[in-house]
Chains A and B, each alone.
Chain A
Amino acid sequence: MQQGGDFLLSTVKSCALLGIDGRVVDVEVDISNGIPSFDIVGLGDAAVRESRERVRAAIKNSGFEYPVRRITVNLAPANLRKEGSSYDLAVAIGILYASGQLSGFDADKYMFVGELSLDGEIKPVNGALSMAACAQQNGIENLVLPVQNADEAAVVKGVNILPAGHILEVADHLQELNKITPHKVNSENLFSRFDPDAPDFADVKGQDIAKRALEVAASGGHNVLMVGPAGSGKTMLARRLPGILPSLTFEEAIEVTKIYSIAGLLPPGSSLITKRPFRNPHHTISAVGLTGGGKIPKPGEISLSHYGVLFLDELPEFGCEALEALRQPLEDGSVTVARLNASITYPARFMLLCAANPCKCGNYLSGSRECTCSPQSRSRYLGRLSAPLLDRIDIQIEISPVKYTELGCKKRAESSRAIRKRVEKAREIQLKRYRGTGIYSNSQLKPPMIDEFCVLDGAAAELLGKAFESLGLSARAHDRILKVARTIADLDESETIRTCHVAEAMQYRSLDRKLRDL
């Protein structure tokens, strides 16, 4: 704080969000003589401008004196657009500091975030985890934030998380009258928590082939399309896919939590998302809703399913534009949203799981109900899906409504936990194989790498050649079969791909086949 003559100046730190990363914002407050006014400059949106009224009322109602002078607040860097109400607390502290009502603390060691209510209470903000990470990266020791955000932010090590419920608590802490104890969570405990409510494959009776296909998909990170009549259990199977994916690592969990924190979707009272996300957007969703963006940028569904599963039920009903927007993120694992003066990149490394009815009425092949679609409308229905999108889907499963009683055996279905063990093993093999190549799973293999890593033994190569002649498989199926066969071999812990692996992989390409009765 500089105080000389008639002007008073202070700088405190706050945080802006860019994509999922935080960026330090200096909140500069100048109080000088002149006609009483209060201005905030530095490209703030409406919420930032309205912050004036909240700050004024909060200062007054907390028993401080609101300086009746000319107040100018600058949010630096001034060319960065700033949104939301999280600067309220920093502005208020800055004013109190500049006017000499607070003193005796090192403003460089503090970052303040929080929205103020008119009586001085501090309300939660979005993106606290990213802000904590930002504070830690910039060597800021203390982060003062709303109590409700303390759990998520405390996951970041190396920063004192100081939760405050009221501006008076902050003032007391800074004046060393009544210290706030830094909030701590044990992030190890978060991971070990067992979730009994998670859907389990043990609850699905029958559907063995579909479960196996999903196991293969989970093992290699392959995208999946399930085709089956209404009521055949597609959604039930889909909900269980995240449960067999390997557990999130700590780094992955932080990244996922950041996204949810920014989107404001973090469940209250949780500090870290430790389960793989499962997102199930309705088919009326727009392209922006899927990829993210908008006037106030928000992560879309693909980012919310980062490291998890994006489930698109009724795939052909989705808008063409929305589906095509998926193509680039599926390749890159991230999505870049261009905005007026910044482009924001959100991570989006997800497994795409789609479900579709075989025809418009949804009854084709259902066994019990009759399909009323004409052959033309039937072939048109799935034909609507674009080839470039289908090219990114390695596994196609047909789901038939098979009654459990028809199976005639009372075998207990396998639990998700048992399946996950195999999946994790296969993933480990892949991580080891692809170390240093920039990819981590079989689904990411590109043509030159396919030749290098998908080595077929003689009989398997012969089988593949024969299959293309006699089964009417399309050429684009070739690489996909190889990738899936690679994963099946990994599940089998076999370094070379053998005949049985290729033969099984072919069963997961049934839509490429021109089957007689279709």
Chain B
Amino acid sequence: MFERLKYWIWLASLDSMGPRKMNLLLDMFGDPLNLWHCSPDELKKISFLNENNLNQLADRKRREYSSACLEELKAKGIRVITIRDPEYPELLRHIYDPPAVLFVRGTLHCDEKMIAIVGSRKASAYGAKVAYTLAYKLSKAGFVIISGMAKGIDTQAHRGALEAGGRTVAVLGCGIDNVYPPENRGLAERIVQNGAVASEYLPGSKPMPYNFPARNRIISGMSLGTIVVEAGEKSGSLITAGYALDQGREVFAVPGNIDSMNSVGTNRLIKEGAKPVTDVKDVLEEFGITSDTRHCISGNERANRKATFFPPNLSDEEKILLKCLAEGRQHIDIIAAKCGMDSASISALLTMMELSGFVHQLPGKYFEIDEKLLF
């Protein structure tokens, strides 16, 4: 087994070749071992291999390199999943250009129901909240949330899934020992514990700009559908949506204000036929899930719940505050005016409520009821 993996690593290291050529070679030779033993003359006869490919096939043929690589992977707890392994995600196997090898930290199950939640790195507060909430609810409904661990929407999607106690998968555009962006290092560790961080690139690979669009095909390829939460005019997440379409998967888009630059892309997707998502139900419906309504209440219902939901043992002031916040997120000055309290007492009360986990502070001194309370 160990011996066999060396040849796969050798194959993965051939970066002059795209996944399509690799798959053709695998089809012809059945296993990288056979390719390794194939003579240069025979290889020359293969029409789609150019000079570059041939040179690399010969140059990288160093057994020691591959073993050293394997040792390193083992030391770092990175597993190698090949397209021939049963663990390899079933949905991904069926796309046009599946990666021959996946490097994985954490656990991947081949038959998981995955949903991709992607979007702009420059997320607005709205986008961030929607991504978080959708991930949270879909996770509760049993989906694995897959995304790219980029800043903005991706980060919120992973966090939502983790907070819901669900599994989540991050596919990177660089080697998986190399967390990009670096501030998500902590998040990466949490994802490894509750899912997987995966990449088709050899550990140590740099986050090259052209890796990311290629990475997006894996995100959409592993999932049943892709939800684009926010996308500008030319966002990478539109590429993901494009792949999803090519791969015959569902494309969802979250509508936004028509004058918001962050929603130009998503609104256009809707115009072009993507399914608009205004509620988690919209997604679940598409996959025929209606039974578990606990986590998929409608907007109206949600408003009702907010109005009527009171945790036990609340003081009168706290009840008034929650009732006021049931109308949606509000600025502290407005909350104070509505509750008839002065700034000092409302500040203190909000801190206490936040510490008890009832309300949530947003930038700019805005507050809202913690969504988790409503489930």
Q: Which residues of A contact B (CB under 8 A)?
A: 206-209, 211-212, 228, 358, 365, 370-376, 398, 400, 402, 406-409, 411, 463, 466-467, 470-471, 488, 499-501, 503-504, 506-507, 510, 513, 515-518
Contact = CB atoms under 8 A, between A and B. Distances in A.
Interface of B: 121-125, 128-129, 132, 151-152, 156, 259-262, 331-334, 336-338, 342-352, 354-355, 357, 360-366
Contacts of A207: 333
A276 to B, nearest CB: 23
B351 A510 contact: no
B361 A503 contact: no
Given A507-B348, A518-B363, 4 more contacts: A411-B337, A463-B352, A504-B345, A510-B365
A503 B318 CA distance: 15
A507 B331 CA distance: 13
B354 A471 contact: yes
B344 A504 contact: yes
A308 B359 CA distance: 38
B128 A517 contact: yes
A414 B91 CA distance: 65
Contact of B331 (A211, A400, A500): A400
Contacts of A406: 331, 334
8 shortest interchain CB distances as A-B pairs:
A212-B343, A503-B351, A503-B348, A507-B347, A500-B348, A365-B364, A517-B125, A504-B348
A400 B332 CA distance: 10
8 contacts: A209-B333, A212-B344, A400-B364, A400-B365, A467-B351, A503-B348, A506-B351, A516-B132
Main secondary structure of the interface of B (DSSP, over half): helix
B151 A375 contact: yes
B355 A471 contact: yes
A471 B356 CA distance: 11
B332 A407 contact: no
Contacts of B151: 375-376
Contacts of B352: 463, 499, 503
Contacts, number: 114
B362 A517 contact: yes
Contacts of B342: 208, 212
B346 to A, nearest CB: 8
Given A370-B260, A516-B132, A398 B354 contact: no
Contacts of B366: 400
A376 B150 CA distance: 12
Contacts of A372: 261
A445 B366 CA distance: 31
A370 B261 contact: yes
Contacts of B124: 371
Given A209-B333, A375-B121, A407-B334, A513 B347 contact: no
A407 to B, nearest CB: 5
A45 to B, nearest CB: 54
Contacts of A471: 354-355
A464 to B, nearest CB: 10
B363 A212 contact: no
Contacts of A206: 333
B363 A470 contact: no
Nearest to A500: B348
A52 B360 CA distance: 75
B337 A407 contact: yes
Contacts of A510: 361, 363, 365
